[in-house]
Amino acid sequence: MPTAETEIETLANRDYRWGFISDIDADSAPAGLNEEIIRFISLKKTEPDWMLQWRLKAYKHWLTMKEPAWAMVKYAKIDYQATIYYSAPKAKMKSLAEVDPELLAVYDKLGVPVHEREALLGVEPSNVAVDAVFDSVSVATTFKKTLAEKGVIFCSFSEAVREHPELVRKYMGSVVPYSDNFFATLNSAVFTDGSFVFIPKGVKCPMELSTYFRINARNTGQFERTLIVAEEGASVSYLEGCTAPMRDENQLHAAVVELVALDNASIKYSTVQNWYPGDKEGRGGIYNFVTKRGACRGVNSKISWTQVETGSAITWKYPSCILQGDNSVGEFYSVALTNHQQQADTGTKMIHIGKNTRSTIVSKGISGGRGQNTYRGLVKIMKNATGSRNYTQCDSLLLGDKCGAHTVPYIEVHNTTSRAEHEASTSKIGEDQLFYCKTRGISLEDSISMIVSGFCKEVFRELPMEFAVEAQKLLGVSLEGSVG
């Protein structure tokens, strides 16, 4: 029977073990993953106990899991004990002069203003930038007011855990359960921050929501956790990411995004991502292993995923839709580019459960250099999902002769009144097409860029306009050195 003495002894020992916690102002946890670290993260974020318990449950489950190896991507074994799972945002460099000039050249090409670059790279803001940052804060404040008037909640995930616990507890983990897969489980244990969006009944969100307005978003991308809920009749368009290349000391990025659409609601989720892909030999690039899933719970609900992935050393993600509600619609539009030594195994899963459900998949894969690009898609039409339809188009474009494009489609139709269509094409940019462009005075690089943009048109059309323009520029920049 534990006596008071033994209890105190235990506590004292515990304090000793958790010695570093006494320095609550510590900016980061030491490397490694164990229960202490998780408690530290939760403490730093001043989370309620139910959140900590949720994390611990996930962590315990993670210990029983094995890292999957079925994807067509090769990477050096990740040492989970060598990673730091919490570090507060702070300036890492004193000035832009310390930054890789090649990276700065990309910012130049993309027209990124100086203060943006500083924020993106974790450089101490210069004095000139102070005003600009202040402007961003006031801009964000104005938007928050407009949203508040409509009852729209748009805040960081951490804030939502504190301010809107009932909503978070209701929906978190309902689309991607904590036990879903190795990386989602890891995320569930150590997630850092992300977005929380709640659109109440009947409200059409008056503006596009973007991660740009979450000022401190940039340094928390390691294990991002995002939850978007659209109640009956609500709709929202959300933009994630930006075209400017982002570096991070942390190699593994395992985000989880959950979307919930109730009756007659719709959610449009667009991503333009350009995580640092590593140098020309592929060293130092980011591994982007993401679990994104949308649940079309309601009747006539709709969820659209649009992504332009040009960065990361390795991209492994399948933004998916569970089409539960009758007549619900799922869409997936994707452009994935792999150049130099990049690898991508990406696609989607459309699970048809309700009647008369529809899904559309348009995947454009572009490979250059020694890039390896794989489309992996699942279209599963369950027995009771009568009268359902899927249309899939996956096109691959090969630039040069050392890259690869692979397609792995899975189609399962369990009733006789549904229809699934699948079209695929593989092409190269013809020498005659390039010659034609050059005879009109257009440079080789501009020609390739123009032809590739034409190839991606159907996907770019789905992006909100400003994103589409940026995405086009990004594609041009990412294609450099892709041929020969």
Partner 1 sequence: MGLLESFVALLEIKDLRARVAAPGGKDILKGVNLTIAAGEVHAIMGKNGSGKSTLAQVLMGRDAYQVTGGSVHYKGIDLLALSTEERAREGVFLAFQYPVEIPGVSTSYFLKAAVNSIRKHKKLPELDSVAFLKLVREKMAMLKMDASFMNRAINEGFSGGEKKRNEIFQMAVCDPTLSLMDETDSGLDIDALRIVAEGANRLRGPERAILLITHYQRLLNYITPDVVHVMLNGRIVRSGDKALALELEERGYEWVEKELAAV
| Sites of contact with partner 1 (CB under 8 A) | 430-433, 435-444, 446, 450-451, 453-457
CB burial of residue 383 (10 Å; 0-12, 13-18, 19+): exposed
Task: Please report how close the Cβ of residue 363 comes to partner 1 at its closest, in angstroms.
Answer: 15
Query: DSSP readout, 164-211?
Result: -HHHHHHHTTSSS-TTS-HHHHHHHHH----EEEEE-TT-B-SS-EEG
Task: Please report how close the Cβ of residue 458 comes to partner 1 at its closest, in angstroms.
Answer: 8
Q: 126 or 426: whose CB is closer to partner 1? A: 426
Task: Please report how close the Cβ of residue 346 comes to partner 1 at its closest, in angstroms.
Answer: 21
Q: 48 or 484: whose CB is closer to partner 1? A: 484
Asked if residues 250 and 219 have their Cβ atoms less than 8 Å apart, the reply is no
Secondary structure E strands in 85-169: 153-156
What contacts 17, CB < 8 A, 6 or more positions away?
36
Asked if residues 275 and 244 have their Cβ atoms less than 8 Å apart, the reply is no
Query: DSSP readout, 34-63?
Result: SHHHHHHHHHHTT--HHHHHHHHHHHHHHT
Taking the C-alpha atoms of residue 150 and residue 206, their distance in angstroms, rounded to an integer, is 9
Task: Please report how close the Cβ of residue 453 comes to partner 1 at its closest, in angstroms.
Answer: 7
Q: 83 or 433: whose CB is closer to partner 1? A: 433
Backbone angles phi, psi at 458, to 5 degrees: -60, -30
Task: Please report how close the Cβ of residue 446 comes to partner 1 at its closest, in angstroms.
Answer: 7
How many other CB atoms sit within 10 Å of the CB of residue 155? 17
Taking the C-alpha atoms of residue 390 and residue 360, their distance in angstroms, rounded to an integer, is 6
For residue 146, what are its two tokens? 């407009």
Task: Please report how close the Cβ of residue 464 comes to partner 1 at its closest, in angstroms.
Answer: 20
Q: 408 or 450: whose CB is closer to partner 1? A: 450
Task: Please report how close the Cβ of residue 279 comes to partner 1 at its closest, in angstroms.
Answer: 29
Residue that is written with structure tokens 């974020």 in the block = 45
Q: 428 or 457: whose CB is closer to partner 1? A: 457
For residue 141, what are its two tokens? 């404040």
Task: Please report how close the Cβ of residue 459 comes to partner 1 at its closest, in angstroms.
Answer: 11
